[in-house]
């Protein structure tokens, strides 16, 4: 592949991001990164700020992606780790957060992330990157309608332009996944693409086939799109709410001025949702939790909650949840284990229990699928193939919903974590080569 390409496809995901470059002949190269001595194609969608690096008269110092993970681990929990900030794009009232002498808003964080990722890609390819095709969901997480979606896209565009991209084009993520899937086809298909992200699940019903990928205009091939703000992060949250939070004091009480009161649920809501977790690091929350610790009926549990928050354990907790979710995709039972300092949570979990926890989320995904099909006027039996991409595609309860509608033989997968970046790069090649 030539090194002169100045445009990329970027899958900016809730949990992970990926960048790819197409060669104009159907080939795609993924940008590779080093993480803890190993190679990875995933650039984690997070930022880390070390308070010791901040100075009043200097720009804010930060780490992003793989570098952020390494800096966070080296700092042993000191500092501020911010992740899943894509989920806040539809939130107009989100305030600024203080990082040492600096105050940052969501748009600032988006710009910092895109800036560091663009420069990383430029360094690896040895050439300036001027243009990007960015993926976006059909419906952003938290969206109440098309106006919300347009505002979220505008924020992404402004951040990308502030980060130095001269040209920014958007493509829906399930359509990008369709472009990737189409490369391997030998005959025409009516295909449904189901893209399971961290914050949203999206669908695209589209006519695909050999030779079509060379066409610059594909609007006539797209029959319908749909989506819902329910996805992988919600399944993670269900595990934390049912398995972790009760061990950290949820459902317990404290005594104040002779009254027995419930420990507020707000702490556990944020703990279970990665994009809210960094907000628990504020001084006010710290003072409230220390007061609860003194008054709690079960002070050890509140102490464990304080330890998790103060030591920035969101990343490690997430990895423990992820391991359990992956194990339960293939096994009927699995062990959840999270351990740090004085906190140890170990439990045997059955797939049946897990499926009970996530049942409302699976139902919401199934409802959005049925609504998408109903709007298309296409019956499930008329769909030739279903291409499922994203980690949640492996969850048996989710997969059964698709098998029930289309049959197991119609389901396809492959390159689940890279298909969107690949399709975005192919689209960038058509636009600008």
Say if 354 falls within a structural domain. no
H or E element at residue 140? none
- pLDDT means over runs of 10, the chain (433 residues): 71 93 87 94 93 89 94 83 86 78 90 97 94 95 89 96 97 94 92 92 95 71 94 94 96 96 94 76 88 97 94 86 95 97 96 98 97 96 95 94 97 83 93 84
- Check if the beta carbon of residue 304 is closer than 8 Å to that of residue 314: no
The answer to whether position 240 is within a domain reads: no
Q: Which structure tokens are listed for 359?
A: 């049942």
In a domain, 198, yes or no: no
**In 10 A of CB 300, how many CB atoms?**
13
Is 141 domain-assigned?
yes
- The whole-angstrom separation of Cα 263 and Cα 291 is 11
Would 182 be classed as within a structural domain? yes
Range of the domain at 172: 7-188+414-432
Q: What is the CATH number of the domain that holds 421?
A: 3.30.420.40
d(CA 275, CA 211): 41
CA torsion through residues 405, 411, 417, 418, sign: negative
Largest CA-CA distance found in the chain, in angstroms, rounded: 75
Q: Would residue 352 count as lying in a domain? A: no
- DSSP-derived pairing of the beta strands 385-389 and 411-412: parallel
Phi, psi of 379 (to 5 degrees): -80, 150
Q: Indicate the SS3 state at residue 230.
A: coil
Specify if 180 maps to a domain. yes
For 126-266, where are the E strands, in sequence order?
131-136, 167-172, 189-196, 201-208, 222-228, 253-256, 259-262
Considering the domain boundaries, does residue 402 fall inside one? Answer: no
Nearest Cα neighbor of 132 from 149, 145, 113, 146 is: 113
pLDDT score, position 362: 98
Domain count, the chain: 1
């Amino acid at each position: 592949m030539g090194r002169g390409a100045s445009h990329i496809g970027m899958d900016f995901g809730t949990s992970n991001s990926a960048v790819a470059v197409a060669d104009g002949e159907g080939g795609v190269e993924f940008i590779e990164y080093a993480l803890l001595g190993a190679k990875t194609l995933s650039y984690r969608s997070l930022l880390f700020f070390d308070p010791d690096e901040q100075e009043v008269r200097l720009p804010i110092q930060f780490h992003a992606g793989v570098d952020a993970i390494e800096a966070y681990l080296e700092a042993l929990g000191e500092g501020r780790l911010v992740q899943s900030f894509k989920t806040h794009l539809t939130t107009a009232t989100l305030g600024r957060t203080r990082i040492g002498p600096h105050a940052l808003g969501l748009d600032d964080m988006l710009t910092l992330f895109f800036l560091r990722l663009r420069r990383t890609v430029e360094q690896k390819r040895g050439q300036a990157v001027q243009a990007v095709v960015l993926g976006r969901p059909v419906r952003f997480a938290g969206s109440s309608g098309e106006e919300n979606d347009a505002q979220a896209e505008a924020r992404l565009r402004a951040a990308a332009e502030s980060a130095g991209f001269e040209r920014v084009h958007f493509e829906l993520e399930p359509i990008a996944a369709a472009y990737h899937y189409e490369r391997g086809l030998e005959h025409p298909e009516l295909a449904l693409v189901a893209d399971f992200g961290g914050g949203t699940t999206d669908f695209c019903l589209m006519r695909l086939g050999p030779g079509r990928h060379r066409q610059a205009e594909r609007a006539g091939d797209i029959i319908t799109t749909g989506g819902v703000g329910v996805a992988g992060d919600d399944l993670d949250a269900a595990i934390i709410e049912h398995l972790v939070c009760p061990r950290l004091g949820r459902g317990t009480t404290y005594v104040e001025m002779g009254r027995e009161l419930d420990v507020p649920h707000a702490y556990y809501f944020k703990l279970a949702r990665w994009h809210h977790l960094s907000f628990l690091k504020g001084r006010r929350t710290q003072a409230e939790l220390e007061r609860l610790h003194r008054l709690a009926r079960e002070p050890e549990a509140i102490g464990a909650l304080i330890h998790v928050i103060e030591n920035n354990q969101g990343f490690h907790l997430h990895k423990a949840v992820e391991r359990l979710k992956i194990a339960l995709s293939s096994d009927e039972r699995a062990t959840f284990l999270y351990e740090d300092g004085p906190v140890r949570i170990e439990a045997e979990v059955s797939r049946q229990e897990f499926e009970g926890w996530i049942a409302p989320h699976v139902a919401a995904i199934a409802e959005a699928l049925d609504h998408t099909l109903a709007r298309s006027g296409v019956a499930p039996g008329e769909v030739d193939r279903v291409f499922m991409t994203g980690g949640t595609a492996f969850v048996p309860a989710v997969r059964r919903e698709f098998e029930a509608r289309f049959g197991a033989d119609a389901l396809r997968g492959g390159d689940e974590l890279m298909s969107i970046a690949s399709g975005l790069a192919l689209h960038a090649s058509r636009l600008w080569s």
